[in-house]
Amino acid sequence: MLSELVSPEVGPKIAPDPMRIPPADLSIPCAIDIKELRLFYDGRQAVNCSGLRVEKGSVMALVGPSGCGKSSILSCINRMSDLVPNCRVEGQILIDKIDVLDKKTNVKSLRKRVGMVFQRPNPFPKSIRENLALPLREHGIRNRAMIEEKIERALRDVGLWNEVYVRLDSPAMLLSGGQQQRLCIARAIVLEPEIILLDEPCSALDPISASVVEEFIVGLKGRYTIVVVTHNLAQARRIADSVSVCWVENDCGCLVESGDVNQIFSKPLCKITQSYIQGLRG
């Protein structure tokens, strides 16, 4: 049924209909401004995304079916796309008026300001303290008192401090899955970034751990700008302030609609959004 709404387009691939995306309110401070983004794998265009704006301090959920390019879009924001072989990225992503995709941008300092958390928890096989101290030392913070202070703050922010403060020197690998993922979030925020990117952070966790992690993501609102990729619409509704819906058209992922979470879920402007949301509700 959904396929009836996606009319097969004949001809060159074009950007989605501008009318589908409500005009951006340029007065709100914007942390991430994806002006245009085109991704090519092995020469074939895989993603075409334009006009995605993330408001400072808010949580934006990127939703859509598998393969529509949400994770790819996310990986471009902190240039993790550089690591993918045969991947070419074109366009402009502005963070604080600096174009992130520009070759001249210093990627290491970019990744200090934009943190990332992955689907499966990946703490280093070291102690809990070392997991958090290492990024700090690498980025120039040597003062031990300051390091301890930042570690405590990061662990409190993810609700781990009370659970682990007695065993900071024990291996991080001995933590449970949910604790490891919260440790990874702590590791991402210990550098005090402005933006945190989360790629399906709860999908590898059991429901209880997932809800704990969700709770702390919501707790970070306001202090950080957060972009979460998720295929779980209910989760998006729970934690996000705004939602962007991606879809696959002509073998190419694209941005279909973007807006406030309540508006998207109650009065979506686009038929695709409507059916996608209803499809999971109904």
Partner 1 sequence: MSIERSRITDAAVAIFLWVVSSAILLLVVSLLFNILWHGLPHVSWSFLVDTPQEAGRSGGIGPILVSSVLILTVCVAFAVPLGVGTAAFLTEYCKFSQRTNRGIQGSLDILSGVPSIVFGLFGNIFFCKILGLGFSILSGGLTLACMVLPVIVRTSEMSLRGVSPEIRQAIESLGLSKSGALFHILLPIAVPGITAGVILSVGRSLAEAAALIFTSGYVDRMPSSLSDSGRALAIHIYDLSMNVPGGDKNAYASAVVLIALLLAMSTLTRILVRITFQRTRIC
Partner 2 sequence: MSAWEHRKVFAVVHTRSRDQWLSFLLSGAALVASSFSILIFIFLLLESWPVLRATSVGSFFFDESWHPTEGLFNLVPMIAGTILVVFGAVALATPLGICLAVFQQFYAPCAMGVFMRLTMELLAGIPSVVYGLLGIVVLVPLINQLQSPGASLLAAMLTLALMILPMVVVIVEADFQKIPRPYLLGAEALGFTRWTTIKSIIFPATSGGIFAGIILQTGRAVGETMAVMMVCGNIVQVPNSLFDPMRTLSANIALEMAYATGNHRSALFLSGLILMTFVTLLVFVAGYLQRIYRRVD
> Rule CB under 8 A: which residues touch partner 2?
109, 138-143
Phi, psi of 111 (to 5 degrees): -75, -10
Q: Rounded to the nearest 5 degrees, what angle is found at the Cα of 175, between the Cα atoms of 172 and 177?
A: 115
CB neighbour burial string for 3-42, b if at least 16 within 10 angstroms, e if fewer: eeeeeeeeeeeeebeeebbeeeeeeeebbbbbeebbbeee
Cα 162 to Cα 169: distance, rounded to the nearest angstrom? 15
Tell me how many residues contact partner 1 (CB under 8 A).
31
Binding test (CB under 8 A) with partner 1, winner from 10, 83, 145, 166: 83
Within 10 angstroms of residue 120's Cβ, the number of other Cβ atoms is 14
Instruction: Please report whether residue 159 would count as binding partner 1 according to CB under 8 A.
Output: no
Q: How far is the CB of 123 from partner 2 (least distance, A)?
A: 22
The reply to whether 134 sits near partner 1 by the rule CB under 8 A is: yes
User: What gap in Å lies between CA 149 and CA 234, rounded to an integer?
Assistant: 36
Residue 78 binding partner 1, by CB under 8 A: yes
**Residue 107 touches which member of partner 1, partner 2, none, C-beta under 5-8 Å by kind:** partner 1
Give the β-pairing of 114-117 and 195-199.
parallel
State the nearest-atom distance from the C-beta of 142 to partner 1, in Å.
13
For residue 130, what are its two tokens?
């070392």
Minimum separation from the CB atom of position 110 to partner 1 (A): 7
Quick check: 13 and 49 in contact, CB under 8 A?
no
Q: Which of 231, 226, 220, 255 is nearest to 242 (CA)?
A: 226
Residue type present at position 114: V
The count of other CB atoms within 10 Å of the CB of residue 209 is 19
Q: Closest separation between CB of residue 129 and partner 2, Å?
A: 20
**Nearer Cβ to partner 2 (35/139):** 139
Q: How far is the CB of 118 from partner 2 (least distance, A)?
A: 24
Please report how close the Cβ of residue 104 comes to partner 2 at its closest, in angstroms: 15
Residue 29 interacts with which of partner 2, partner 1, none, CB < 5 to 8 Å by class: none
204 binds partner 1 (CB under 8 A): no
Of the pair 76, 191, the CB lying nearest partner 2 is at: 191
CA distance 26 to 43: 34
Q: Which does 140 bind (CB under 5 to 8 A by kind): partner 1, partner 2, none?
A: partner 2
The listed partner (partner 2, partner 1, none) that binds 116, CB under 5 to 8 Å by sort, is partner 1
Binding stretches for partner 1 (CB under 8 A) = 78, 80, 83, 85, 107-112, 115-116, 118, 120, 122-126, 134-135, 137-139, 171, 173-174, 184, 187-188, 191
